[in-house]
Amino acid sequence: MEQWLYAMFIEKTKTYNRLTKAAVERHVANLKELDERGHIELAGVFKGYPGVAGMYILRAGSYEEAEELCKQEPLVLEGFATYKLKALQVANKENHYLL
């Protein structure tokens, strides 16, 4: 059975340097909610990659569902970031690493 995850790359906009504590708190609250709903496989911050703030690996039923989750990210809604979404087919022992 095919298994898909969705990688959301959070990219900084020109206003990212104006990020407020309140905006970060809204971002963290959204992350917690996504995690509680079972949508977060992994999330983290990038260091040393100019222009990229971080990434979510999302569990969703479809690309369209994952995109709706991305659009709800407060950093995106408030203009501090944009995102790129990529579908990732999982390779693991159970599917013989896609062979």
> Residue 28's closest CA among 12, 46, 45?
45
SS3 at position 63: helix
Per-residue pLDDT of the chain (99 residues; tens, 9 = 90+): 789 999 999 999 999 999 999 999 999 999 999 999 999 999 999 999 999 999 999 999 999 999 999 999 999 999 999 999 999 999 999 999 999
> What is the predicted pLDDT for the residue at 28?
98
- Give me the residue label for tokens 């969703």: 60
> What is the predicted pLDDT for the residue at 2?
85
Domain spanning 4-98: CATH superfamily: Dimeric alpha+beta barrel (3.30.70.1060)
The domains of the chain are located at 4-98
Residues 6+ apart with CB under 8 A from 62: none
pTM of the complete model beyond 0.85: yes
